[in-house]
Amino acid sequence: MDFGALRTLALELNFSAHGVPATVQRPYPDVGDAIVTRGIWVTQFTDALPDGHELQRREPIRVMALRRDEVTTVPRGTTILAPEVMGGPLKGWRVDAMARVDTDHYRVVVIPDPDLDALVGVEL
């Protein structure tokens, strides 16, 4: 029994219902046109024991899911313009790491990018 069509439908429904509009721009060597898609914010978490120095800020780690059939690669440094909540203001995010790769989507760790926030609404 082939569940491919059912999986595709479930993916489409999840991103339609829970996703926010997102514009993805990949860095060199994948530079090309911006990819307009939808992303799902995955539940935030805080690293209880951050690596490195003893004194470190503990901030929530933001993770966004992106469809692999729309965004084929998401290297570190990829920029994403997306609101934190549906209908909210656009914010700039930069991919810091790959959290997980599934068969149909990526989960990427993103950090706020104030430089991108300054460009929101600016015609380039």
**Successive 10-residue mean pLDDT values, the chain, 124 residues:** 80 89 90 92 72 62 94 94 92 94 94 81 51
Instruction: Determine the Cα–Cα distance for residues 44 and 63; give it in Å rounded to an integer.
Output: 7
Q: What is the pLDDT of residue 50?
A: 58
Amino acid present at 3:
F
The fold for domain 4-119 equals Thrombin, subunit H (2.40.10)
Q: What is the pLDDT of residue 114?
A: 84
Q: What is the pLDDT of residue 51?
A: 61
- Residue 8 dihedral angles phi and psi, to the nearest 5°: -65, -45
Q: What is the pLDDT of residue 93?
A: 96
* Residue-range domain boundaries for the chain: 4-119
